């Protein structure tokens, strides 16, 4: 949840400050902005999550998964390489998050929208992307560590 809250607040503030003089935001402008931001944000957050899991395990606070990699629909297909896993998480989020949030805005007939509405949309989308990335990255790293421990035993 913290990955989501932090990203929602920071990205909404940055978006507001950068776009203060911009008038209206159309679906295409919002979609491109969200897609680029979501990909970059997801890759960066994934690396932080991978490091957090490994750091916690080194300190003696192991992450214990309740199920194996085979049982998780998304995680079982993830690569074991953290760089590739981070890029995959970025691609998953880039496909899902902008389409969901711009789609909701379009479905509710809110487009084009002004700065405040676009800032709120950006914050909500980045929060969702951050939370989803945190979940996927932590589960991927934790299950990977569990699998390595089983193979070593």
Q: Which residues of the chain have pLDDT under 70?
A: 62-71, 149-150, 153
Q: How many helices (H) and strands (E) does the chain have?
A: 4, 0
Residues 91-118 pLDDT 10s: 999 999 999 999 999 999 999 999 999 9
CA distances from 59 to 62, 97, 118, 146 (A): 8, 34, 42, 16
**Ramachandran class of 25: left when φ > 0, alpha when ψ lies in -120 to 50, beta otherwise:** beta
CA distances from 62 to 1, 40, 82 (A): 19, 28, 18
The pTM of this model reads 0.89
């Amino acid at each position: 949840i913290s990955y989501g809250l932090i990203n929602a607040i920071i990205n909404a503030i940055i978006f507001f400050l950068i776009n203060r003089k911009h008038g209206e935001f159309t679906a295409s402008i919002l979609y491109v902005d969200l897609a680029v931001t979501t990909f970059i944000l997801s890759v960066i957050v994934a690396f932080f999550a991978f490091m957090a899991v490994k750091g916690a395990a080194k300190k003696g606070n192991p992450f214990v998964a309740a199920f194996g990699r085979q049982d998780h629909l998304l995680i079982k297909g993830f690569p074991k390489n953290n760089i590739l896993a981070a890029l995959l998480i970025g691609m998953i989020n880039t496909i899902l998050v902008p389409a969901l949030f711009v789609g909701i805005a379009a479905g509710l007939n809110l487009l084009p929208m002004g700065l405040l509405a676009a800032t709120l949309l950006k914050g909500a989308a980045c929060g969702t992307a951050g939370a989803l990335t945190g979940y996927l990255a932590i589960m991927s790293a934790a299950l990977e560590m569990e699998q390595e421990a089983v193979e070593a035993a």
